[in-house]
Amino acid sequence: MKLKQRVVLLAILLVIFIFTKVFLIDNLDTSAANREDQRAFHRMMTGLRVELAPKLDHTLQSPWEIAAQWVVPREVYPEETPELGAILHAMATKKIIKADVGYKGTQLKALLILEGGQKVVFKPKRYSRDYVVEGEPYAGYDRHNAEVAAFHLDRILGFRRAPLVVGRFVNLRTEIKPVATEQLLSTFLTVGNNTCFYGKCYYCRETEPACADGDTMEGSVTLWLPDVWPLQKHRHPWGRTYREGKLARWEYDESYCDAVKKTSPYDSGPRLLDIIDTAVFDYLIGNADRHHYESFQDDEGASMLILLDNAKSFGNPSLDERSILAPLYQCCIIRVSTWNRLNYLKNGVLKSALKSAMAHDPISPVLSDPHLDAVDQRLLSVLVTVKQCTDQFGMDTVLVEDRMPLSHL
């Protein structure tokens, strides 16, 4: 072969090598860990559709005991959950033996105890599926269907940090009122032919009750975490001030993330990466109201950030509140496993997966098509944000291997 031909051949081989390397990086298929992420994604997709059925094939025949056994410091439920359909079925159908006002908070809810002693939080329907909540991203009432959708998105993203949620229809006259405490019962009223209640909370008003369709009320029920795992509340480092004219430090200080990295529990361990994951999660669902978050107590930063109270989401499909992603674009780090999963979900896969996951919920369809389209669109914005970070700082800096001991300094 002549020298000129050899040079051309070598040049072609070099181009192929570079292209292959870039392609493999872009498709995140360069390590055993990434291949495991891909296998985990396929396992998730295979078990995505959950049919609600009462049958339990488990040595523990109580769905509540199974769900309680699942909870560990870094996940609320495991990757493999063959009993999930039976547990969600129990949440949606078990007899209500007591009903009370919800735990303290700003939004209307009821605390129910189901047969077998399991506590669940009931959030009533306040809006139709196609209602658009205008105004600030955190405006309006809680959206019960958002809790259902957020739980399934948590499954799809592989976080497994959200409590179990399912839709449920309850008859206020026959299921709730006979077992209601006096405190809850005193908030019931009739509006036209509909039974309503307004409960006890910071924003609860007699003039703004939640009303059933006749006696039947649609809502969501969230499984109460086991009492052996007490919660600890934390101020979110990227929380809002909620004061007109007053900005939080992260809103004006470009080096704010550097300061966060020097404070506990964000100076080591998984918590900062949990904050980044949560920013992605909240951006996808349009939740700009996570000013606090919960972890398990006495965890020294090792516990997961638990994805509680996701109902201030899916209010406006046109919402593109980029500030929710501030932890991501200010810190410019993200878990490799999260980045892998997000890439697997692009090109319409996320919308399809979410729709499939929610198909068997009792209140299906859980989300309208504009909201499903919005989730796909927001995913693209997340991918672009990470790409901007890798262009600026390099992939080795931005993509953090979460299977290794973490240090952010």
From the annotation, which residues make up the binding site?
107, 123, 142, 222-225, 294, 309
Neighbouring CB atoms inside 10 A of 166's CB total 28
| Beta strands at 216-223 and 118-124: parallel, antiparallel or unpaired | antiparallel
- Give the pLDDT confidence score for residue 47 in this predicted structure: 83
- Give the pLDDT confidence score for residue 3 in this predicted structure: 53
Asked if residues 114 and 211 have their Cβ atoms less than 8 Å apart, the reply is no
pTM of the model: 0.90
- Give the pLDDT confidence score for residue 244 in this predicted structure: 83
Query: Residues in the chain with pLDDT < 70?
Result: 1-31, 299, 403-409
Handedness of CA 130, 135, 140, 144 (dihedral sign): positive
Residue where the block lists tokens 């033996």:
97
- Give the pLDDT confidence score for residue 24 in this predicted structure: 44
- Give the pLDDT confidence score for residue 105 in this predicted structure: 85
- Give the pLDDT confidence score for residue 2 in this predicted structure: 54
Sheet holding 110-114, edge to edge: 96-101, 110-114, 118-124, 216-223, 165-171
Q: In the annotation, is 289 catalytic?
A: yes
- Six-digit token string for 306: 């638990």
- Compute the mean pLDDT over every residue in the chain, rounded to the nearest whole number: 90
Domain boundaries, the chain: 77-223, 231-400
Picking from 149, 150, 102, 105, the residue whose alpha carbon sits closest to that of residue 124 is: 102
- Give the pLDDT confidence score for residue 405 in this predicted structure: 44
Catalytic residue (one of 289, 361, 369, 396): 289
In angstroms, the CA 251 to CA 248 distance is 5
From the annotation, which residues make up the binding site for Mn(2+)?
142, 309
